[in-house]
Structure formats: C-alpha cells, structure tokens
Amino acid sequence: MRRWALACWLGCETAAAYAQETLPEPAAEVAESARTTVRSMAVWLARGVDSWFGDRPFEDGGKVSDGRLSTALMLRQHDNPDLDVRFNARFRLPNVEERLYAFIGRDDERDLITDRPGAFSRQDRLLEDTRDRDFFAGLGRSLTDSIDLRVGVRGGLNLFAQARYRHDWLIGDDDRADFRQTVFWSLEDHLGSTTAFSYEHAFSPVWAARWLNSATITQASKHVEWSTLLGAYRSFGDERLLALESLATGEAGSGIGPSDYGVQVRWEQPIHEDWLIGGVVLGHFWPREDEDSPRERAWGVGVNLKLRF
C-alpha cells in the first residue's frame, strides 16, 4: 500500500509538471459557447421565476450565482462504469425580500436532502450510483449569516425542508474548525439530522491537512450513517491541487464496521481560464456488504469536468 500511494503521488507530481491550462482554440471556443449557453438558460429561468412575484425588472438586483455544471465518469472494479451529470445554481430575485433566494439543480436526492458533505458522495468515492438523480427547486431564506431555512420539491412533487446552521472558528493563524448542523424532513426519511465537523491545519502556505466527519440519523433508519476523511493537500497555485485522502463510511450497529474504506489520490486544475476545472482520481478500496460477506478489494478511477458560470 505504501508503494502504491507513493507511486500515485509521484505520478500526479509528474502530471502537474506537464499540465496545460490553455485549451486548443477550437476546444476553447466550444467551452466558451457551452458556458454562455448554460448561463443564458439559468438567467432565463431565474427571470421567469422572479416574474411570478412581481413586476420589478430582473436587472434591478437579480443575480445568478454559484452556478456549476459537472460531469464525471467513474469506474470501480466489479461495478459498471457510471456517468454522472450534476447541475446547481442559486438565484437572487429582486421581486422577493432581500434575504430570500431560489435554488435549482439536478443532483443525488439523498445527498441533497441530508446535506451530507460532498466529499462523502458516491461520486467522490468512485462508486456506481444506482440511486435516482432528480431535478429539484425551492426557496430559501437567510435568517442570519449562520442560519438559513429551505423548502423545495424534487423529482416532481416530493417535498423536503431543511434548517441549516453553520459556524466556523479561526484558531490562531494556521488552524480552522467548521461545524454544520442540518435538520431536515422528507416523505421517505421523516425527520432527520446531519452533523458535520471539520478541522484544518496549514503546515505552510502550500501544505495543509484536513479531518472531516459526518453523521446522519433519521426516524426511518435504525442506524446512524457515519463518514470520516483524513487528507493531506499540496497547492501548486492557480487552483492546482494535489490531494491524498483516506476515508471510511459505515452504519453504527451494523456489525461489519466500515462498509467501505480506502485511500485515493486526486489532482485538480483549471484547464481553461478559471472556470473550467478538470480532475482525475485514483483509489483503492475495501468494501463489505454484510456480516456474511468477506471484505473485498477494488480499484477505482475517475475523471471529472466542472464548469462554473
């Protein structure tokens, strides 16, 4: 395992040395056109939603922010290849109150409702995702900088609601802690809660480490779903990042310990300006389905592309 991790690390270091941040002109034109089209569609949709609430022009304070269109191709040994497309955006609507916003997208419904950190998604763990990826939309209200409430629908008329609290602490010049608590309700889970806590330490301007933990409990489940991640990160500037992470997930009381754990190395960098981000990930995992099954071994690889608009 040590030789494998070292080889992956050196391989990504070599890739970083030769990585190009500028696309060939034809590819760049396609990327620019795609970004313009996606953003135009998002603005058109935001303008339409805003018109439901009044006659104030959308240009008078209207805004589309945090727009992301991501595509990922993942393959884990013993699973089928999985192509994942996700879309998220946030709208500021001038015809509603200042602290009210709209959100819309297409994502894994389980991750959306429970508000579990993205680092623990099946996509980030290179797992085939047979669950539904639904379109969703809703309204949120920021009560303070730390608290907001959201109500939405996904997959048709399936309602969900969330109350979210977040607080972070700067502990000296090199340490930071972040706490997030989300209480949610849905037809499937009834009432539930996700608690997430992370701690980050900067060893230098380019080296950092992070410890991230998450726990989710619902009325409909007998077990607490937990996840933990420990990672080391090396920045090469200009949003180029090399990461080595160990992670584990499981259910308390299941009798099998972690249902899946492993180690993975990731490389991310802009491939066109600062809004088209590419990444590759390579991992090795030890999953176990139940108490009667032996723990297996599986390799995983993935490539992803994220377009910000």
| Domain residue spans of the chain | 2-308
pLDDT of the residue at 222: 75
Cβ-based neighbours of 265, under 8 Å, separated by 6 or more:
5, 8, 9, 12, 242, 243, 244, 245, 281, 282, 283
Q: Quick check: 211 and 192 in contact, CB under 8 A?
A: no
pLDDT score of 22? 59
What confidence score (pLDDT) does residue 83 get?
A: 87
pLDDT above 60: residue 10: no
Segment among 38-52, 192-206, 258-272 with least mean pLDDT: 38-52
pLDDT for 132 beyond 70: no
Q: Are 156 and 109 in contact (CB under 8 A)?
A: no
What does the chain come to in residues?
A: 309
State the burial class of residue 53 (Cβ atoms within 10 Å of its Cβ: 0-12, 13-18, 19+).
middle
Percent of the chain with pLDDT strictly greater than 90: 53
Q: What is the pLDDT of residues 225-266, one digit of tens each?
A: 999 999 999 999 988 999 999 999 999 988 888 999 999 999
Which of 154, 21, 31, 43 lies closest to 93 in space, CA to CA?
A: 43
Share of the chain above pLDDT 70, in %: 90
pLDDT at 169 over 80: yes
Q: How far apart are CA 225 and CA 217, in angstroms?
A: 6
Partners of residue 152 on adjacent β-strands: 138, 160
> What is the arithmetic mean of pLDDT over 160-186?
96
Contact 105, 135 (CB under 8 A): yes
Give pLDDT, residue 131. Answer: 57
- 289 band by pLDDT with thresholds 50, 70 and 90: confident
Does residue 215 register a pLDDT over 60?
A: yes
- Provide the H-helix boundaries in 2-108: 2-18, 25-51
Quote the pLDDT of residue 221.
86
Say whether pLDDT at 18 is over 80.
Answer: no
Q: Tell me, what's the pLDDT at 24?
A: 82
Whether the full predicted model's pTM is greater than 0.85, yes or no, is: no
pLDDT at 20: 45
What is the C-alpha to C-alpha distance for residues 260 and 263, in angstroms, rounded to an integer? 11
Number of Cβ within 10 Å of residue 235's Cβ equals 16
| φ, ψ dihedrals at 202, nearest 5° | -100, 115
**pLDDT tens profile 36-46:** 999 999 999 89
Identify whether the C-beta of residue 75 lies closer than 8 Å to the C-beta of residue 82.
Answer: yes
Q: With cut-offs at 50, 70 and 90, classify the pLDDT of residue 6.
A: very low
Range 184-208 average pLDDT: 95
Other CB atoms within 10 A of residue 281 CB: 24
Token digits of residue 301: 């690889």
On the question of pLDDT at 16 being above 80, the answer is no
Residues whose CB falls within 8 Å of the CB of residue 48, separated by 6 or more in sequence, listed in order = none
Mean pLDDT, range 136-165, rounded to an integer: 91
Q: What is the pLDDT of residue 130?
A: 57
Q: What would be the CATH architecture of the domain defined by 2-308?
A: Beta Barrel (2.40)
The conformation of residue 118, written as its DSSP 8-state character, comes to G
pLDDT digits (tens, 9 = 90+) for 54-88: 888 998 888 899 999 999 999 998 888 888 888 89
pLDDT value, residue 154 = 85
pLDDT at 2: 40
Mean pLDDT, the chain, whole residue set: 87
Of 2-11, 32-41, 42-51, 164-173, the least confident: 2-11
